[in-house]
Chains A and B, each alone.
Chain A
Amino acid sequence: GQNIDQPTEMTATEGAIVQINCTYQTSGFNGLFWYQQHAGEAPTFLSYNVLDGLEEKGRFSSFLSRSKGYSYLLLKELQMKDSASYLCAVRFSGGYNKLIFGAGTRLAVHP
């Protein structure tokens, strides 16, 4: 089966750092994605991990541990515009390599 868990909501202060965790259980793992989604808009790509370790891209970093079925997205120097939903998605190697999403984490950044 496929199971992806992430916190429902988080709050943080402008300028701070926030870490959004994602755990998954699956057979046939083939990569983990993080997306940002503002209300009423399509998701936009943030990061992709397929090997263990940290991927850094500006203010955003993503970490993956395949043995633990665990990933996190780290957002630094938070800005008000970072208030959005953050979606963890796992790609499965069976069939068409489909991408399955977690429920998403709504992040609210306060001044």
Chain B
Amino acid sequence: GAVVSQHPSRVICKSGTSVKIECRSLDFQATTMFWYRQFPKQSLMLMATSNEGSKATYEQGVEKDKFLINHASLTLSTLTVTSAHPEDSSFYICSPRPSGGYNEQFFGPGTRLTVL
């Protein structure tokens, strides 16, 4: 199967700081990247979708100026949580879709963000 990495796996930061999360597809190219977040005991909520080289499309209720997405290459996408607050504490998971198109959608291992 496809290999997806996320870094960091876990981060603790102070309120007001920014945190960058990297997502890499290690053995395939991904034209499209999905970013999800998951609060405790809840399901995955889609935050935004991005295509390589273009601006991300955000889901309703997700602030695009707070969650900055960069999809600069076919193997790397980043999500930056700007001016993080405790309510942003969550599990963030990326999901790159292979450029060739597959029936399976792969997920990264996730990043646990805790904002103090």
Contacts and interface: CB of A to CB of B under 8 A. Distances in A.
By size class, the interface of chain A is 20 to 34
A45 B105 contact: yes
B108 to A, nearest CB: 6
B62 to A, nearest CB: 13
Nearest to A104: B43
Interface residues of B, number: 25
Nearest to A44: B107
Contacts of B107: 42-44
A100 interface: yes
Interface of B: 1, 32, 34, 36, 42-46, 49, 51, 57, 91, 93, 95, 97, 103-110, 112
Name the residue among B36, B95, B103, B112 with the largest chain A CB count within 10 angstroms.
B103
A107 interface: no
A49 B95 CA distance: 19
A103 B105 contact: no
Given A43-B93, A95-B57, A101-B43, 11 more contacts: A33-B104, A41-B110, A42-B108, A45-B105, A50-B103, A98-B46, A99-B105, A100-B46, A101-B36, A101-B45, A103-B43
Contacts of A103: 42-43
Nearest to A50: B103
A103 B109 CA distance: 19
Given A41-B110, A45-B104, A45-B105, A98 B44 contact: no
Given A45-B104, A45-B105, A104-B43, A98 B110 contact: no
Contact of B95 (A40, A44, A99): A99
A42 B105 contact: no
